[in-house]
């Protein structure tokens, strides 16, 4: 896969001493959203709740022209008929259909491809996210953020108990590897500058891990990401998430994405763990075993330490060179 070209944003010092991006330096900034806002909604087997979501989204007052793009991702229930009926009476709703189910990420990428505005919002079709929070997300984009995330940390968050341990683990892992606190790793309510998503489109997956990947890609490459606390309602219909399989997949994805952009964040902890084991074996061989003898395990652990560190440094060198 050809690596997308990534330009590091030029930074300047703010009045508070922190680093700011170029568009943060001006006092008067044009509202990016005034040229229009596109709301992309991936839809798969959501016949029960999608009509209400389309109605509420189409009536939002965001201070700009709104277009709603519903991407029917090969639904097998009555979703297509419901969307057709909605499109007939909602003038700013456009329905795009995948003949076969391609995945959550694929539906979003289709929506971004068909969007004609610089500001794009995504949300789910199951009615779980509060549409009234979209205005706050748009304000973050107008203020200079490249992505604004509706973080499910509000007063009322209905996440099934069985999924909470896995979500906590994934959030902690991603925060550690990204080097910054991530309040919500895979929220489905977000606002974007469209060019951010198009920049990373080649590496964005077809499935549910779309949001996880764009979050990690943005944070590890210095893009400005803002978080807005939102509530999360109980969904209409059944969830498409498979707890065990998707958790394992998300774990592998997090490690792979950080390896792609910042390999030392993964290799340094592994090298440290191997080094600790090496020190333990070396201590045992020299001070506990009688007579002292350098064992085979110690030698193998030393070789493993050198190899892990070397591969990590080479990966980091390749990653840095790819940016030139």
- The string of pLDDT tens digits covering residues 163-202 is 788 888 989 999 998 999 999 999 999 999 999 999 999 9
Check: CB of residue 34 under 8 Å from CB of residue 61. no
> How many separate domains does the chain show?
2
* Same-domain status, 246 and 271: no
* Same-domain status, 254 and 289: no
- The string of pLDDT tens digits covering residues 113-148 is 999 999 999 999 999 999 999 999 999 999 999 999
Is 268 contained in some domain? yes
From 261, 283, 305, give the residue that closes a domain: 261
Tokens of 201: 């489109």
Beta bridge partners of 94: 69
* Same-domain status, 81 and 207: yes
Range from 7-16, 38-47, 228-237 carrying the lowest mean pLDDT: 7-16
Is 4 contained in some domain? no
* Same-domain status, 147 and 29: yes
Residue 10 has a pLDDT of 42
CA 12 to chain centre: 26
CA 315 to chain centre: 23
From 261, 285, 313, give the residue that closes a domain: 261
* Same-domain status, 256 and 279: no
pLDDT at 231 over 80: yes
Distance CA 244, CA 264 (A): 28
* Same-domain status, 243 and 279: no
Residue 243 has a pLDDT of 64
Beta strand pairing call for 37-43 and 66-73: parallel
Contacting residues for 305 by C-beta, under 8 A, at least 6 apart: 271, 274, 275, 278
* Same-domain status, 318 and 193: no
- Our CA angle for 175, 220, 190, nearest 5°, is 75
Domain range for 270: 264-322
Is 6 contained in some domain? no
- The string of pLDDT tens digits covering residues 60-78 is 999 999 999 999 999 999 9
> Per DSSP, which regions of the chain are E strands?
12-13, 19-20, 37-43, 66-73, 93-98, 119-122, 147-151, 190-193, 225-229
From 241, 261, 281, give the residue that closes a domain: 261
pLDDT at 208 over 80: yes
Which CATH number covers residue 165? 3.90.550.10
290 pLDDT tier (thresholds 50, 70, 90): confident
* Same-domain status, 216 and 175: yes
Check: CB of residue 226 under 8 Å from CB of residue 148. yes
* Same-domain status, 257 and 275: no
Selection from 97, 46, 87, 47 nearest residue 67 by Cα = 87
Radius of gyration (C-alpha) of the chain in whole angstroms: 23
What number of CA atoms fall less than 13 Å from residue 113's CA on the CB side? 10
Tokens of 253: 């994805």
């Amino acid at each position: 896969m050809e690596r997308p070209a990534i330009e590091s944003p030029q930074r300047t010092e703010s009045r508070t001493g922190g680093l700011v991006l170029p568009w943060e330096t001006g006092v008067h900034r044009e509202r990016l959203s005034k040229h229009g806002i596109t709301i992309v909604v991936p839809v798969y087997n959501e016949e029960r709740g999608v009509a209400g979501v389309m109605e509420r989204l189409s009536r939002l007052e965001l201070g700009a022209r709104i277009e709603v793009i519903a991407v029917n991702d090969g639904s097998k229930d009555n979703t297509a008929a419901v969307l057709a009926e909605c499109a007939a009476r909602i003038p700013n709703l456009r329905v795009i259909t995948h003949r076969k189910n391609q995945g959550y990420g694929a539906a979003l990428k289709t929506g971004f491809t068909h969007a004609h505005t610089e500001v794009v919002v995504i949300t789910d079709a199951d009615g779980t996210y509060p549409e009234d929070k979209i205005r706050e997300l748009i304000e973050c984009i107008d203020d200079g953020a490249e992505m604004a995330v509706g973080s499910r940390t509000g007063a009322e968050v209905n996440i099934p108990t069985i999924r909470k341990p896995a979500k906590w683990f994934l959030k902690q892992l991603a925060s550690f590897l990204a080097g910054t606190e991530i309040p919500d790793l895979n929220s489905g309510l977000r606002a974007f500058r469209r060019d951010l998503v198009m920049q990373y489109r080649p590496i964005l997956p077809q499935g549910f891990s779309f949001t996880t990947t764009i979050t990690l890609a943005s944070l590890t490459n210095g893009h400005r990401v803002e978080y807005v606390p939102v509530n999360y309602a109980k969904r209409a219909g059944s969830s498409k998430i498979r707890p065990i399989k998707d958790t394992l997949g998300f774990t592998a994805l997090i490690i792979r994405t950080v390896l792609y952009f910042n390999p030392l964040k993964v290799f340094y902890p592994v090298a440290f763990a191997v080094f600790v084991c090496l020190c333990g074996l070396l201590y045992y061989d020299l001070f506990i075993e009688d007579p002292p003898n350098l064992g085979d395990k110690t030698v193998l652990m030393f070789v493993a330490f050198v190899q892990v560190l070397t591969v990590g440094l080479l990966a980091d060198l390749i990653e840095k060179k790819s940016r030139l």
